Structure 1
Amino acid sequence: MSNASGPVEFDVESWRYRAQYDFETTAPSVAVVDVIETVFDDERDRGPLYDVVDPEALDRLLESDSGRDRRGPRSASFRYRGALVTVVSDGSVVIGLDDEIDR
């Protein structure tokens, strides 16, 4: 699978989707929506992302900052449709499926 942020890969052993986005040109909130739309292509039950996380706060938390970046990447995680979504300031998005999701 691929999206505007890049290819979305699925790891069968960990039941996780992974994608990379260019954190210099793409806001984390845009990358997350893009990856979520790729993974959850069924729109029947999809609720707005802003019901789960504030997109502007997510972008501020993960935006590049030379002082904070020296301490390593920052991440934010939240649940969406029964999956754990993690966005990292280094440009990665991971969606981990759990047993409650129909595999």
Structure 2
Amino acid sequence: MNNNTTRAESVAAADAFFETDPESVIRTEFDTDESDAVVVTVVTTVATIVDEAVDAMPPLFNSIDTEAMTELMAHGRHRPHPTLVSFSYHGCYVTVSSRGEIIVVAPPE
């Protein structure tokens, strides 16, 4: 996203890129002041979209270095542009923003 691209334009571009049914995408937020909020929110959001219990989910650290992601989000929240991290978890495509936003795209059926 360049300096002239708005958040709405970038979300629309992401939606077009994924060409997904809107019901297969969940957008949620986490509290950027809570150190473990990003990890908890990713796991609970993915559990919701794949319809599984949170305690049945595989550890997130098997997909991404959770400590590094937490640090990136903490440091990125004070920058003029958001820090974004994208990865796969339990078949879903996840993007996390240092602005406290998470987008999860469900796995293809």
Q: Give the TM-score category using the shorter length.
A: 0.5 to 0.7
| Structure number with higher strand proportion | 1
SS of corresponding position for 2:22: coil
TM-score if structure 2 supplies the norm length?
A: 0.64
Deviations 1:16-59 (A, max 9, x none): 1111122123532222123223323325x842211101111110
Give percent identity, aligned residues only: 28
Q: Of residues 51, 54, 72 in structure 2, which corresponds to 1:41?
A: 51
Deviations 1:50-98 (A, max 9, x none): 11011111101111457x512x111111011222111111111111135
| Residue 28 (1) aligns with residue 32 (2) | no
Distance 1:37 1:23, change over 3 A: same
Residue 75 of structure 1 contacts residue 87 of structure 1 at CA under 8 Å; is this kept in 2? yes
| Structure number with higher helix proportion | 2
| Residue 81 (1) aligns with residue 90 (2) | yes
Give 1:3's aligned residue: none
Residue 29 of structure 1 contacts residue 56 of structure 1 at CA under 8 Å; is this kept in 2? no
Q: Report 1:1-103 matches (<5 A).
A: 12-13=21-22, 15-25=24-34, 27-42=37-52, 46-64=57-75, 69-70=79-80, 72-98=81-107, 101-102=108-109
Give 2:6's aligned residue: none
Q: Count matched residues.
A: 87
